[in-house]
Amino acid sequence: MPNQNQGFTSTVLKLRFMFHEYYKSNPNSIDVPDKIHNREFGIQSWEYNWFCPVRKSRDESGHDITTGCGQSGTSLSNIKKCPNCGSDEIQTTTWRRHVGYLNRDELIRDLTSVAPHSVYHSAAFYKIPVARHMDEKEWFGAELVFDIDADHLDLSCAKDHDAWRCNEKECHKTGTGIHPENCPDCGGKSFSTRKWICENCLGEAKKYTVKLYDKFIVNDFGFDPELVQLNYSGHRGYHVRVRDPRVYSLDSNSRIQIVHYIMGLGLNTEKVIVTQGRVNRVPDRDFPGWAGKIADAIVEFVRNIDSYNGTERWVKSLRKGKVAALDGLLRNPPILNPEAKDIGLKSWQEIAEKAAELYGGEIDRPVTHDIHRVIRLIGSLNGKTGFLVSQLNRDELDDFDPFRDAIAFNDGQMKIKFLQKSSGVPRFRIGDETYGPYHGESVELPTPAAAFVLCKGVAIIE
């Protein structure tokens, strides 16, 4: 469909132009990371860089054959064949790694002229950030970074708004939620997925971010809030960066231990939930560390017990005794109410263990663990949504509404066409306006709503 291809090309060009205009008029929105000259930047462009490698091999009758032409270039779509020689062994990428900037002006000049799809920088500091190989960069520390992403929270709304499509040529079966391991129609294993965001996912991600910040980063670890940076990622979650020089030298193992602590893994609940006299006891809320959090963790767990999938022996009793259990746990000091019947010490310990794991939430572990990872630049635009990677302080976080407060484009209207896909585009809200659902129609939308669906790749410019 030449028409649609043209639509894709003009969409990419239009988005890049909008990003360009944004950076030109809002250079001050960019947050320049500390020690910028020691950071590696990663730039994701709108276009694909392709390279056609020359390969020499021998055919069955022993003749030398050469494939590929050694040319390289850029393309606005993800091409599969070399435009020069037709070889199908070309390599394409949208990434430029090992980029460095000496100062703020250089960074802003580059962002304005390139207007990239996405911009990242290392949490790490390097002596030579532009060196091609990690061992030549001379790492000398990294901020401690946490990523709370709705993707990892296993939320029920994903079943409604995420979709997949089988990549097998003759099949193209579609479905909602996370794709199965094997396509139910053809057994194929390759799928295209479309992830969506809604108020629920972003609300949940925020809830866990607040908890991470208040209960763990500030309360348990005692980091100075002035040295903790918070931001919305521009897509499905939030980042927390600890910029206290005391964490810079932590190795991967120490970082993963911090994550495991927050996630309540390996918590010894036999020491926390004990029998005193003939009463089962839960620690007071003012106990330091996990002990003081257990009552609240169990409260959250009991509140959601009706939707809990586990089959442990105590599930039925806990459902029956829900009101009494909550009543006891919400007191100060909290108690394990004996009126919630048939739940013994061992059961309470198991409940506490499950509750702790759910309470801390799922942190994207590799992000914290990998000391060479790059993370989105605050104040840049996220090409998956057109939203702003928004810096927030703790107070702003409470009322932050990504669908209102992370909007980067405001003026005008755009004519767009939704792509014909059987799963359709779910309803979404931008500002106070709700849009959709859409199934392939051509519409005129306000620019912020249009930019969102164009970036999401579910519509093209008409």
Residues lying near Zn ion in the complex (CB under 5 A): 52, 69, 82, 84-85, 87, 157, 166, 168, 171, 173, 183, 185-186, 188, 198, 200-201
Dist. CA 328–CA 338, nearest whole Å: 9
For residue 207, give the H/E element and its range. Answer: helix 199-211
Q: Quote the CA–CA distance of 117 and 166 in Å, as a whole number.
A: 26
What is the nearest approach in angstroms of Zn ion to the Cβ of residue 68? 5
Neighbours of 226 (CB within 10 A): 9
Extract the runs of DSSP E, i.e. beta strands, from 330-441. Answer: 374-376, 381-382, 387-388, 391-392, 413-418, 428-430, 433-435
Q: Specify the residue, 184 or 288, whose C-beta has the smaller distance to Zn ion.
A: 184
Q: How far is the CB of 391 from Zn ion (least distance, A)?
A: 24
Dist. CA 209–CA 197, nearest whole Å: 17
Least distance from Zn ion to the Cβ atom of residue 183, Å? 3
If the CB atoms of residues 192 and 410 are measured against Zn ion, the closer one turns out to be 192
Q: Give dist(CA 300, CA 445) in Å, integer.
A: 41
Rank residues 82 and 272 by Cβ distance to Zn ion and give the closer one.
Answer: 82
Contact assessment for residue 92 and residue 49, using Cβ atoms and an 8 Å cutoff: yes
Instruction: Give me the least distance between CB of 159 and Zn ion, in Å please.
Output: 9
Nearer residue to Zn ion within complex by CB, 208 or 314: 208
Nearer to Zn ion, 49 or 84 (CB): 84
Give me the least distance between CB of 108 and Zn ion, in Å please. 34
Q: What residues contact 258, with CB distance under 8 A and at least 6 apart? A: 144, 221, 250, 368
In whole angstroms, how close is the CB of 52 to Zn ion at the nearest point? Answer: 3
Q: Exposed, middle or buried by CB within 10 Å (0-12, 13-18, 19+), for 256?
A: middle
Of 84 and 92, nearer to Zn ion (C-beta) is 84
Residue placing its CB nearer to Zn ion in the complex, 21 or 154: 154
- CA 249 to chain centroid, in Å, comes to 25
Which of residues 190 and 413 has its CB atom nearest to Zn ion in the complex? 190
Q: How far is the CB of 157 from Zn ion (least distance, A)?
A: 3
Can you say whether the dihedral through the CA atoms of 43, 426, 204, 316 is positive or negative? negative
Between CA 327 and CA 298 the distance in angstroms is: 12
Spatial CB neighbours of 127, under 8 Å, sequence gap ≥ 6: 38, 137, 138, 140
Lookup: tokens for 72: 């390289």
Of 200 and 257, which has the nearer Cβ to Zn ion?
A: 200
Residue 184 burial by Cβ neighbours in a 10 Å radius (0-12, 13-18, 19+)? exposed
Name residues whose C-beta falls within 8 Å of residue 217's C-beta, 6 or more positions apart in sequence.
Answer: 223, 228, 240, 242
* Cα–Cα dist 242/64, whole Å: 57
Minimum gap (Å) between residue 453 Cβ and Zn ion: 16
Q: Least distance to Zn ion from the beta carbon of 267, Å?
A: 29
Comparing CA positions, the residue from 177, 210, 169 lying closest to residue 193 is 177
Question: 282, 294 in Cβ contact below 8 A?
Answer: yes
Distance of closest approach, residue 303 Cβ to Zn ion, in angstroms: 20
CB of 77 to Zn ion, least distance (A): 17
Whole-number Å distance between alpha carbons of 240 and 148: 8
- Name which of 175 and 328 has its Cβ closer to Zn ion: 175
Indicate the residue among 44 and 84 with the shorter CB distance to Zn ion.
84
